[in-house]
Chains A and B, each alone.
Chain A
Amino acid sequence: MKIEANNVRVSYGSEQVLKGITMSIKKNTVTAFIGPSGCGKSTFLRCFNRMNDLIETCKVEGEIMIDESDIYHPKVNINELRKSVGMVFQKPNPFPKSIFENVAYGLRINGVTNKKYIEEKVEWAIKQAALWDEVKDKLKKSAFALSGGQQQRLCIARALAVEPSILLMDEPASALDPISTTKIEELIYNLKASYTIIIVTHNMQQATRTSDKTAFFYMGDLIEYDDTRTLFTNPKKQKTQNYITGRFG
């Protein structure tokens, strides 16, 4: 297993938002987290790169193993962890820099200075993000000149440049038009060969199109976790059925 979460409990102050989540995620798969707003899916996603550590009141208990190492062990280097667990957010958030520098950024802050290596890595990452043909002639232009869909793929390229093995995506296509969404989904499909991907989405069709496994969360509990095909054709739990068929509440 690439990732193993055991009895993960998260609280913000006195409010418990995850109530003991246990699940395993295989290498080179796409896992979708679905559930209504406030169910804890994004909080759980942020546990895998310890983004929750940045929230003062947040307390994470339980165990998360990546490649059989406990990522909450006191000796873990958080920068190294975040290098191997990349993240892409809902809104594309390029830096106010050129297209090239956006992707080179991660390498530079990790101390890479070899110009040729950086150039090769930037080209590789942009190609991985299926953006190269669209930007190869304007790498020095501002990232803000790109469309929303291109900016999102640029952010994916930026995450890939430091060669993570896991990619976390928090609603990566929710702010994009249908064509850009399709490109991101195709990208997710193709990236699966090299990365383990977890995607939080409110878009059921996106979950069905892109993921191998789907986990349904509700009020801090993991209600059902199964092959996407099974979960969307024959869910075992009534709550899951009510949610995916739109009969919730």
Chain B
Amino acid sequence: MNLLENELGDLKTELMEMTSMVKEQMEKTIKAFNTFDHQLAEEVVSNEKRVNGYELNIDSKCEHILALFSPVAIDLRFVLASIKMVSDLERIGDNAEGISSYIARFEKPFDKELLERLRFKEMTEAVLEMLDILVDSFEADNTKLVRTVFAKDDFLDEINFSANQVLAEYFRTCDDPEKITQAIYLLTMIRKFERTGDYITNIAEEIIFYVKAKVLKHKKNKA
């Protein structure tokens, strides 16, 4: 193994660790939401600085590899993809922190009936499945597996879109200010889960880019 291979191996290991950490942050967030566990939500908020730490380290490692090793071909694609992936991973971490900070803020559990109408469970399960796929496919450079996240992202988009109508109806009929506030926060959370799906999709595109040299960005039919 040459020096560059060692450096790239370290970079991948660190990116894998960051991906796993971000996945764990999102898992804890969803668990904190489902169990209304303030302590767990606060743990996610506090762990966010570790996610940021990974981002700084990986950025610096990429800069170092580009400056000292002038990588080409798949090596260059991997470093370029890493720079973009790390940024998307950090944003997923931000979303987990954002959702957790909302959970920690509320004293009463969320309205179960509204959650059901918003298809919250389906949405959070899809996000976790996408993160599982991301971790497995990234580790094995499995582009066939990673492509399966695109359909799941469409599913998240559909739930996000339907949430608008559900909440419009809810606001028309609800006269409890506390419930309305809660519903507004739920809508923000749904947006954050939907954005998380977009970030996972971006990362999947980067995996396909560095493994297969194919650019899927801005293409409609990705699957």
Distance in Å: Cβ of A32 to nearest Cβ of chain B: 13
Chain A: how many interface residues by the 8 Å CB criterion? Answer: 12
Number of interface residues of B (CB under 8 A): 12
Q: Is residue A145 contacting chain B, with contact meaning CB distance below 8 A?
A: no
**Do B74 and A241 have beta carbons less than 8 Å apart?**
yes
CB-CB under 8 A from B73, the residues of chain A are 232-235, 241, 244-245
Question: Would you call B5 and A233 a contact (CB within 8 A)?
Answer: no
Complex Cα distance, B76 from A233, in Å, reads: 7
A241 to B76, CA, bound (A): 11
Contact A204 B72 (CB under 8 A): yes
Asked if residues B77 and A233 are in contact (CB atoms below 8 Å), the reply is yes
A14 at the interface (CB under 8 A from B): no
* A204-B72, A232-B72, A234-B213 known; A247+B5 contact, CB < 8 A: yes
Closest Cβ–Cβ distance, residue B210 to chain A (whole Å): 11
| Interface of A (DSSP majority class) | helix
Which chain B residues (65-107) contact chain A, with CB distance < 8 Å?
A: 70-77
- Smallest distance from the beta carbon of B223 to chain A beta carbons, Å? 22
Residues 230-243 of A, flagged 1 when their CB comes within 8 A of B and 0 if not, give: 00111100000100
CA distance A208 to B77 in the complex (A): 16
Is A96 part of the binding interface, using a Cβ–Cβ cutoff of 8 Å? no
Majority SS at the chain B contact face: helix
Given A233-B77, A234-B213, A246-B4 contact (CB < 8 Å): yes
Minimum distance in angstroms from A235 CB to a CB of chain B? 6
Is the CB of A205 closer than 8 A to any CB of chain B? yes
B2 at the interface (CB under 8 A from A): yes
**Known contacts A233-B77, A234-B213; A245 and B4 CB within 8 A of each other:** yes
With a CB–CB cut-off of 8 A, which chain A residues contact B71? 245
When distances are taken between beta carbons in the complex, the residues of chain A under 8 Å from B77 are 233-234
Q: How far is the CB of A133 from chain B (nearest CB, A)?
A: 31
- Quick one: closest B residue to A240, CB to CB? B73
Q: Which residue of A is nearest B71, CB measured?
A: A245
Q: Which of A205, A235, A245 has the most CB of B within 10 A?
A: A245
B69 nearest in chain A by CB position? A246
Assembly CA distance A40 to B2 (angstroms): 25
Q: How far is the CB of B124 from chain A (nearest CB, A)?
A: 38
Contact string, B27-65, partner A, CB cutoff 8 A, digits 1/0? 000000000000000000000000000000000000000
On chain B, the residues within 8 Å of A241 by CB distance are 73-74
Binding site for B on A (CB under 8 A): 204-205, 208, 232-235, 241, 244-247
Q: What are 15 A-B pairs at a CB distance below 8 A?
A: A204-B72, A205-B70, A208-B72, A232-B73, A233-B72, A233-B73, A233-B77, A234-B213, A235-B73, A241-B73, A245-B72, A245-B75, A246-B2, A246-B4, A247-B2
Residues of B near any A CB (own CB < 8 A): 2, 4-5, 70-77, 213
> With contacts A246-B4, A247-B5 known, what are 9 further pairs, Cβ within 8 A?
A205-B70, A208-B72, A232-B72, A232-B76, A233-B76, A233-B77, A233-B213, A234-B73, A245-B71
